[in-house]
Amino acid sequence: MSIYKCIRCGRVIDIEETGMRCPECSSRIFIKEKPARIKKVKAI
């Protein structure tokens, strides 16, 4: 499951379901959404 965000309209889409084109604005330029990760670093 690859989640991407359209540059032009900002809609979040799933590439596997819709293909490589935004259903709202027909743009083909996307940014890959990364999951929010919390890193814990042990203090010395």
pLDDT tens track for 3-31: 899 999 999 988 887 788 898 898 999 99
Q: What is the mean pLDDT of residues 25-43?
A: 88
Give whole-number Cα distances, 11 to 3, 5, 20, 29, 30, in Å: 10, 6, 13, 12, 10
CB-facing half-sphere around the CA of 38: CA atoms within 13 A: 1
Distance CA 36, CA 16 (A): 21
Number of H helices, E strands in the chain: 1, 3
Q: Where are the domains of the chain?
A: 3-32
pLDDT above 80 (res 1): no
